[in-house]
Structure formats: C-alpha cells, structure tokens
Amino acid sequence: MVDTITLIGIYIAVFLTLGLFTILYKENVWFRIAEAIYLGLAVGYGIAFDLKYLRDQWNSPWSKEPMLMVGFALAILVGILWYARFNRSVFYLYRWPLAITVGTGIGMALKTVIFSQFLDQIRPQINLNLWLPNNPWQSLWNILVFLMVPSVLLYFWFTGSGHEWAPMKVVDKFARYTMMLGFGYMFGNAVLGRYSLFIGRAQFLLGITPNPPEAQPAFWVIAAVMLITLIGWDLYKRQKS
Amino acid sequence: MSIFDKLQDIDIRIIYLLAMISVFYPLISPMGLPIKIGAQSTKWYNYLNTIPDGSVVLFSPNFGASSLSELLPMTVATLHHLWSKNVKVVVVAFWADGPIMFRTAKGLAVPESYGKVYGKDYIELGFVPNGETGMNNLGKDVLGTCSVDYVNNRPTRDYDIMKNIKVATDFNLVISIESGTPGFDGWARQWETVYKVKFIVGCVGVSIGGMQPYVNSGQIQALMPGLSPSAEYELLIKKPGLGIASTDAITMSHYLVIAFVIIGNVAYFLSKLGGKKDG
C-alpha cells in the first residue's frame, strides 16, 4: 500500500495522461488543463536546472579568481540580454546573446562536421564491396546502396542543364523512388514509434509491473469521469443548438 | 458513396478506438507471442559483453518524460548489463530531464543490488546545459564542466571514481540513450571525431533513418532502436521487464497498421476502378 502523497501523485499522473489523450476525441477543457500543466512544469523544471548549474559553476571554478569572476559576471550580463526581445525599444540588444550562442554552436559543429558527416560517410560508400560470394542478399543490398546514394545526390544537383539529358531522366526517376522508399520507411517508423509510446502509457494506466498497481483503479475512475463529461457536454451543446 | 469510398473516409476516432483496443487487449490478457532475437539487439549485447574489465563508461540519458515509454526498457536493461560487469559508470545528461529519467531507471536496476558503491563504481554528474557546446566542454574538462555531483552536491574531484577521469580520452565508451538533439550527431562531432571515443546509441524508433548511415560507416558501434529490440535485449540478458511485457501489444498494433494500409490501398484502387467503369 502506498502512502497518501504517492497516491495523489499517481492520480495526478493518470489525470494528465488521460487529459492529453482526450485530444483524440476533440479539443476540450481536460486537454487544455493537462497541456498547460505539462508545459508549465517542463519549462519551470528546465529553468530550475539551468539555474542550479549556474550556481554550481559559481561555487566551483568561477569564484576562485578575480578575472574569472569578471568573466562570470559578463556572461550573466550577456545572458540577461536575451530578455531584451520582450521590449521593442531595446530589442536590438537581444541580437548579442543570439549571435554569440549561434556563432559558438555553428563554429563548434563546423570544426568537425566535414569529418564526421562528410568524409566518414563517403569512405564506406567508396569501400562498398559489391560482390560477396557467400552472401548474395547483402551483395544485392550493397549494389542498391551503391546506385541509390549517388542518384539522390545527382537529383539535387541544380547547376547547368544536366537534368534535360535523357539518361539523367532515368537517374532522376530512380532517385525519386529511392527517396519515396526512404520517406516511407521513416514515416512507418514514426507511426510504430508512436505506438511504443502509447504502449508505455497503457502499461502505466493498467498498473502493469513495475508501474504502481494503484494506477488501474485511478484509470477507470478518471476515464469514466472524462468520458461522461466530454460526451455529456457534446450532447448538451447539440440539444441547445 | 460506395463502400470503397467510405473505407477511405473512416472517422479518425474509430481508428483511434481500434488502436486503443489493439494495445489494451494484449496487455490485459497476454498472448505470449514468440520473440525472435534480431541483429541489432544481439550486436548491442555482444558489444557490451566485450568491454574489458576496469573500463570507464559514460552513460548519457538524453530524453524526457515524453519518450520514457519507449526508452526506459532499454535503459533499465543496459544498466542491468553494466552493473553486472566490472566497469565504472559516469552518468551525465545533456537534457534537463535526463537525471530524473536515470533516477527512474536506477529504481528498476538498483546498482547496490550488484554490490556497486556510489562514488566508487558509479557517479551521477547531473545535467550539462548548452547541448553540443556542453558536450565539447565535457570532453575538454570533465571536472570543470561538472564541478559537483547530482546526488550529494559535493565537489566531483573528491570522489574515488573521478581520480583518473579528466578528459574524453579517459572514457572507453559512451552510451547515449536519446530521443533527439543534442544526441548522436553531437557525440559524433565532438567526441568520436575529435577523441576517437567509441559510442553506442539507443534511440526512439523514429530516429532510425537518420542514424543508420552512422552505423554503416562504423561511427556508431551499435544501435538499439525502439521497443522491440529492447524486448529482445531483455531476453538476452535474462532480465524480463517492460520490453517483454509490451511484445504482444507491439505485434497486435503493427498488425492493425498493416491491416489499415492494406484496406486503404485496396479501397483506393477499387474505387478508382469503379470510377473508370462508371465513366
């Protein structure tokens, strides 16, 4: 048996889960409440964690030397400028932290992107073994990859008038089918991935181990209340009109 | 309106209802459908099995409550596997929810039950903000980036486990369980390319398309995508959990999607055929 606080927590979790799922029926007040609580909590939690990190940093290296303290103060000052976007008269100041953040991020990523996302990707493409005597299935797969990757790259090559050349029309068609296969694969994974998320919540609602068994009665009670209010409200509105 | 036209215009709420039934029914009354061990879970299992004793693993839970359902089973199973080995585990998250997600997983795979001691065998360093910039900083200076630990708020350098961990090259492996950015591309750019630290990734099913090229190129050593491979992995390590409990529901829901695809396509082509005949 769980204590009262935990039980309240379980009921709140069930309420939020079902509240968010009610959007599948239609836009309603339960969904709005759950959405607002969820977003508020997520943002508040994120801000609290950021502030904690800031405090921990100050307690450790940054408060040790005067120069570091000045650097820390400057960083906070630049950080505060993010809020300048909420005031039209000082809006331009908001560009400073934006420029620093975007510049640092891009600079840091670009430094290695040529290796990790370009050269390291081209290398295995070049080294593809097109014929594996003991594995015809993998050979077929490798041949397809060997043809598909360059065809899609050529599809997006817009310089000159190469696409009007007859053989290029075949390449374009092959590239289109390749992309459709790719998009279909990704879409299929997205749909089935959403099912996985739903299965997890269903396990919670049904109180399947290791989820708390108290979730199941909470589920039936709250689901009944929500269903009755949603359908009742619909019927009431229909009668009124 | 013919029956084929109606089949293409089913009320979305009926589809949701059928989807709910396909998930709830097998969970309430399990059917015990067989689980076939696949290549991805086997590769993940074998890779973790080959980590030498004394290795230092960076475990990074980079996901939030919204993807907990899909990623918790693999997180718990991987932790069971890690705790059963003689390795040191450093936990750092680049998502604010990461430390809480790890806490949830740790409650289901308790390190102390494997004789692991906090601060000696594993440590939680909490959340590092700023995404990829944070990853870069951590690689350069672990103690400076995470100056205090998450559990006791004590200076990180005071813990036994951190005595020889200063920079990225002190880690033998990164395990990133993630549902978006920052994630695998940051690890590839800031750790794998720069320090040659190997990493493996557990992800939500929707991310497979973006990650597979990194697996093919050998940048990601092993990939655990979604719930089904998690169930297989639970079988491999003999720790049945939420993944295996989900298997029937996964299968039934996939069958339902396949049925919808077939019905939709058949109805589309038949209604087109009927239209031509009428014309």
In chain A, residues with a C-beta closer than 8 Å to the C-beta of B96 are 45-46, 49-50
Which residue in A104, A105, A198 is closest to B23 by CB distance? A198
**Contact present, A82 and A94 (Cβ < 8 Å):** yes
pLDDT at B54 over 90: yes
Cα of B23 vs its chain's centroid, Å:
21
**Beta carbons within 8 Å of B131's beta carbon, 6+ residues apart:** A105, B94, B181, B182, B186
In chain A, residues with a C-beta closer than 8 Å to the C-beta of B13 are 24-25
Residue in B266, B254, B232, B274 with CA at minimum distance from that of residue B73: B232
Question: What's the rounded Cα separation, in Å, for the pair B147 and B136?
Answer: 16
In percent, the amount of chain B with pLDDT more than 70 equals: 98
Q: Which value does ipTM take for this structure? A: 0.83
> Contact A202/B24, CB-based, under 8 Å?
yes
- What is the pLDDT averaged over residues B182-197? 93
Nearest CA in chain A to B136: A108
Q: How do residues A10-47 score in pLDDT, each as one tens digit? A: 999 999 999 999 999 889 999 999 999 999 998 998 89
pLDDT at A87 over 70: yes
pTM of the model: 0.87
Which of the pair, B34 or B172, is modelled with greater confidence? B172
* Residue A114: domain span: 65-127
Nearest CA in chain B to A23: B13
Instruction: State how many domains chain A has.
Output: 1
Residue-level pLDDT at A132: 87
pLDDT at A67 over 80: yes
Question: What's the rounded Cα separation, in Å, for the pair B255 and B263?
Answer: 12
Residue that has been written with the tokens 């799922």 in this structure: A21
pLDDT at B277 over 70: no
Question: What's the rounded Cα separation, in Å, for the pair A200 and A120?
Answer: 36
Q: Which H or E run includes B208? A: helix B208-216
In percent, the amount of chain B with pLDDT more than 90 equals: 70
Mutate to test the interface with B, among A68, A121, A196 (most CBs of B within 10 A): A196
Residue-level pLDDT at A89: 93
Which of the pair, B266 or A2, is modelled with greater confidence? B266
Evaluate whether residue A113 is within a structural domain.
yes
- B172 pLDDT tier (thresholds 50, 70, 90): very high
Other C-beta atoms within 10 Å of A120: how many? 19
**Contact present, B73 and B243 (Cβ < 8 Å):** yes
Q: Please provide the average confidence, as pLDDT, over all residues in chain B.
A: 92
The one-letter amino acid code at A233 reads W
- What is the pLDDT averaged over residues A197-216? 91
Other C-beta atoms within 10 Å of A214: how many? 17
Other C-beta atoms within 10 Å of A218: how many? 21
> Contact A199/B246, CB-based, under 8 Å?
yes
Virtual torsion, Cα B77, B79, B81, B86, nearest 10 deg: 180
Nearest CA in chain A to B30: A208
In chain A, residues with a C-beta closer than 8 Å to the C-beta of B66 are 197
Cα of A92 vs its chain's centroid, Å:
30
**Contact present, B18 and A24 (Cβ < 8 Å):** no
Evaluate whether residue A100 is within a structural domain.
yes
> Contact A124/B127, CB-based, under 8 Å?
no
In percent, the amount of chain A with pLDDT more than 70 equals: 100
Evaluate whether residue A89 is within a structural domain.
yes
Residue-level pLDDT at B278: 59
Does any CB of chain A come closer than 8 Å to the CB of residue B264?
A: no
Report DSSP state, residue B200. E
In chain A, residues with a C-beta closer than 8 Å to the C-beta of B166 are none
Other C-beta atoms within 10 Å of B154: how many? 11
Question: What's the rounded Cα separation, in Å, for the pair B269 and B271?
Answer: 6
**Contact present, B18 and A195 (Cβ < 8 Å):** no
> Contact B209/A186, CB-based, under 8 Å?
yes
- B276 pLDDT tier (thresholds 50, 70, 90): low
In chain A, residues with a C-beta closer than 8 Å to the C-beta of B72 are 200
Counting Cα atoms < 13 Å in the Cβ hemisphere of B235 gives: 17
Does any CB of chain B come closer than 8 Å to the CB of residue A108?
A: yes
Nearest CA in chain B to A189: B206
The DSSP result for B136-161, as a single string, is HHHHH-HHHHS-B-TTT--BGGGSGG
Residue-level pLDDT at A210: 81
Q: Please provide the average confidence, as pLDDT, over all residues in chain A.
A: 90
Chain B from 169 to 208: CB within 8 A of any A CB: 185, 188-190, 192-194, 204-206, 208
**Beta carbons within 8 Å of B249's beta carbon, 6+ residues apart:** A199, A202, B22, B23, B26, B27
**What phi and psi, each to the nearest 5 degrees, are found at residue B191?**
-120, -50
Question: What's the rounded Cα separation, in Å, for the pair A55 and B149?
Answer: 13
Evaluate whether residue A76 is within a structural domain.
yes
Structure tokens at B32: 């015990």
Q: List residues bridging with B148 in a β-sheet.
A: B155
The one-letter amino acid code at A92 reads Y
Evaluate whether residue A116 is within a structural domain.
yes
Nearest C-alpha of chain B: how many angstroms from A161? Answer: 30
The one-letter amino acid code at A16 reads L
The DSSP result for B54-76, as a single string, is T-EEEEEEE--GGGHHHHHHHHH
Question: What's the rounded Cα separation, in Å, for the pair B88 and B55?
Answer: 6
> Contact B193/A120, CB-based, under 8 Å?
yes
Q: How do residues B63-117 score in pLDDT, each as one tens digit? A: 988 888 899 999 999 999 999 999 999 999 999 889 999 999 999 999 999 999 9
Does any CB of chain B come closer than 8 Å to the CB of residue A45?
A: yes
Residue in A164, A158, A128 with CA at minimum distance from that of residue A143: A128
Question: What's the rounded Cα separation, in Å, for the pair A204 and A217?
Answer: 12
**What phi and psi, each to the nearest 5 degrees, are found at residue B59?**
-105, 120
Question: What's the rounded Cα separation, in Å, for the pair A177 and A195?
Answer: 27
Evaluate whether residue A93 is within a structural domain.
yes
pLDDT at B3 over 90: no
Nearest CA in chain B to A103: B133
Evaluate whether residue A106 is within a structural domain.
yes
Under 8 Å CB pairs connecting chains A and B tally to 153
Does any CB of chain B come closer than 8 Å to the CB of residue A216?
A: no
Q: How do residues B195-248 score in pLDDT, each as one tens digit? A: 999 999 999 988 888 888 899 889 999 999 988 899 999 999 999 888 888 889
Which of the pair, B178 or A210, is modelled with greater confidence? B178
Nearest C-alpha of chain B: how many angstroms from A90? Answer: 25
Which of the pair, A231 or B5, is modelled with greater confidence? A231
Other C-beta atoms within 10 Å of A21: how many? 20
**What phi and psi, each to the nearest 5 degrees, are found at residue A169?**
-65, -35
- B279 pLDDT tier (thresholds 50, 70, 90): low
Residue-level pLDDT at A18: 95
